[in-house]
Amino acid sequence: MMNAKPVWAAMLLVSSLALQSCGGGADEAAQTEVEGVPGLSVNNGRMVLAPVAGNPAAVYFDLSYEGDRGLTIRRADVAGAKSAMLHDYGEYDFKVQMMEALPIGIKKGDKLSFEPGKRHVMAFVVSPDLKPGGSTEVTLTVSGGDKHSFPVEIRAAGDER
């Protein structure tokens, strides 16, 4: 009896070659996709370094969303930081405290401010290469895995937040 594995492997190879020859496919689609999250815009981005070296920096920005489907912001990353976390303030044990934010839902028409004393991004173990007057990039990841990156200017601890 003939071994079926080489036959199946050959059939798989032929069918994958046939799919690749059908008008460009995934490669062309990847080149025409919109970068970022459609309908999401961010401005006024700034990262304020901590007054004490080694402490976390805070990232603030204004976000607006005009996309057609509701999304959830579930993660933030900051270039030049070992890690980052979405933060908010909430009450715990009868005290208002800073804590990790729950996923942040957004829908068409929403305008959110990430600002001092409210919702913001904390950047941990910030590279010493990130200095006031420079810039870095923040990336937000939303439900479904889409990412939206934007620049933020770097400010010293005493600068305007």
pLDDT for position 19:
40
Buried b (16+ CB within 10 A) or exposed e, 65-82: bebeeebebbbbbbbbbe
Q: Cα(133)–Cα(130) distance, rounded to whole angstroms? A: 9
Task: Kindly report the pTM of this predicted structure.
Answer: 0.76
pLDDT along the chain (161 residues), means of 10: 46 42 43 70 97 95 96 97 94 87 96 95 97 97 96 93 81
CA-wise closest residue to 123 among 134, 108, 139, 104: 139
pLDDT at 35: 65
User: For position 159, what pLDDT does the model report?
Assistant: 84
Task: With beta carbons less than 8 A apart as the criterion, state whether 110 and 116 touch.
Answer: no
Tokens of 2: 């003939």
